[in-house]
Amino acid sequence: CGQCAAYCPTGALTFRNDVEKVYKALKEGKYVIGMIAPAVRSAIQEEFDLGDDYVTAGRLVSILKMVGFKKVFDVSFAADLVAYEEAHEFLERIEKGEKLPLFTSCCPAWVKFAEQFYPEYLSHISSVKSPQQALGTVIKKYYAKEIGVRLEDICLVSIMPCTAKKFEAEREEHAGIVDVVLTTRELALFIKSTGINIKTVEPMPFDRPYGLSSQGGISFGKVGGVLGSVVSVIESKGIVKNVTQQQLEKFVALTTVELNDGRKIYGIAVSGLGNTKKVIEKIKNEELKADIVEVMACSYGCIGGGGQPYPNDSRVREHRAKLHKAIVGTDVLISPTENYHMLELYNKYFEKPLSHEAHETLHTTYRHRKRVTETEIDILPLPLEEDE
């Protein structure tokens, strides 16, 4: 992740290149399925001097299809799914008044950090899987059967802004789901090796059904996106009177949701693990009220992920944040609740949020881990930016 080497809780700061695994799968004639994370489409342009290209995701779909990928899906679809399920989990906890604040779970560097440093909060972390793992499970559990392809013939390639996602895919709870994780930089390397000119490629839409997403889903690529999507699902219930936002510090924002009955829900969005530590301490000391906390380990969120192109400093991240916001704005669906293919998944398999089947497929568990020492992880002195 985008944390400094001494702080990195993921052990992810090792050089790893998994491009060869994709070549191998294609060569072996596997049914290769790609899925692209929201933040990749706002940064990979930098590797190709593409400028502020709004249709990069579509170009990536075309290129992957040209080299032999059978399907290319959008992880933003799964972000809608995660926001929908997590909003219901949050409302249930609010109703019961337990395990609050709820912490979001889509950033594996944060999850591992909590497992090591805040085990007392593990039951507070949403049990909903990250979008990568949720979509991976849906593809392997349902989609493979729908298209009649054996699991051993599928190679599922996840393209992420993040080195910690490699670790997440290798967690034992997620075994056999995602086969290869490529970072944005690795994908750029892969594209360069094909000789295809990304600038002249005609964009193609993502494959359906898991290619549809809302603005909420794509906004997962930047800090505040998860909280915003969860709030928009809650708003769709008709129980919200007013929503206000306030920037408390550079990387800490507060969203206040006033319900029709006068109750208020406080949501915090924080990025950077150093900032997260400060927020948790303030919540513990009751200096900060919070019912839900979105945590992203990299400052600015996934657009600043450790797998994104270099340089990856604040100036670049700020630019990506603006581009990402503009790309989000091009989507015609606003809220995850408008994603009809996501709702179809509920009709077909889950029946309703938090059902037994939804739990089996979309939820996971965490465990207390011992703290990692520098001698246990292979740390290389990368020029990464520290928390600001």
* Residues with active-site annotation: 86, 89, 106, 126, 165, 168, 173, 302
- How is residue 144 written in tokens? 């493979």
Q: Are 2 and 301 in contact (CB under 8 A)?
A: no
Using DSSP's 3-state secondary structure scheme, residue 290 falls into coil
Q: Which of residues 79-108 bind ligand SF4 (CB under 6 A)?
A: 107
Q: Are 386 and 273 in contact (CB under 8 A)?
A: no
Shortest separation between residue 297's beta carbon and ligand SF4, angstroms: 4
Q: Are 221 and 39 in contact (CB under 8 A)?
A: yes
To the nearest 10 degrees (0 to 180), the angle between helices 131-138 and 75-96 is: 110
> Considering beta carbons, is residue 114 or 164 the nearer one to ligand SF4?
164
DSSP tag of 122 = G
> Considering beta carbons, is residue 269 or 288 the nearer one to ligand SF4?
269
# residues contacting ligand SF4 (CB under 6 A):
14
225 binds ligand SF4 (CB under 6 A): no
DSSP labels, 113-128: HHHHH-GGGGGGB--B
Q: How far, in whole angstroms, is CA 226 from its chain's centroid?
A: 9
> Considering beta carbons, is residue 180 or 265 the nearer one to ligand SF4?
180
- Give, in degrees to the nearest 5, the angle at Cα 199 between 65 and 330: 80
> Considering beta carbons, is residue 104 or 137 the nearer one to ligand SF4?
104
Shortest separation between residue 136's beta carbon and ligand SF4, angstroms: 15
Shortest separation between residue 355's beta carbon and ligand SF4, angstroms: 27
Shortest separation between residue 276's beta carbon and ligand SF4, angstroms: 11
The residue assigned the tokens 């992957």 is: 64
1 binds ligand SF4 (CB under 6 A): yes
36 binds ligand SF4 (CB under 6 A): no
- Kindly give, in sequence order, each residue whose CB lies less than 8 Å from that of residue 126, ignoring residues fewer than 6 positions away: 86, 89, 90, 102, 103, 104, 105
Shortest separation between residue 329's beta carbon and ligand SF4, angstroms: 21
Burial of 262 (0-12, 13-18, 19+ CB in 10 A): exposed
Distance CA 36, CA 161 (A): 9
Q: Are 271 and 298 in contact (CB under 8 A)?
A: yes
- Kindly give, in sequence order, each residue whose CB lies less than 8 Å from that of residue 373, ignoring residues fewer than 6 positions away: none
The binding track of 272-311 with respect to ligand SF4, each residue x by CB under 6 A or -, is: ------------------------xxx--xx--x------
Residue nearest to ligand SF4 (CB): 305
Q: Which helix (H) or strand (E) holds 149?
A: none
Q: Which of residues 138-177 bind ligand SF4 (CB under 6 A)?
A: 161-162, 164-165
> Considering beta carbons, is residue 127 or 158 the nearer one to ligand SF4?
158
Q: Are 38 and 330 in contact (CB under 8 A)?
A: no
CA atoms within 13 A on the CB side of 45: 20
Among 40, 75, 87, 109, binds ligand SF4 (CB under 6 A): 109
> Considering beta carbons, is residue 53 or 168 the nearer one to ligand SF4?
168
> Considering beta carbons, is residue 65 or 319 the nearer one to ligand SF4?
319
Shortest separation between residue 165's beta carbon and ligand SF4, angstroms: 6
What residues make contact with ligand SF4 under the rule CB under 6 A?
Answer: 1-2, 107, 109, 161-162, 164-165, 296-298, 301-302, 305
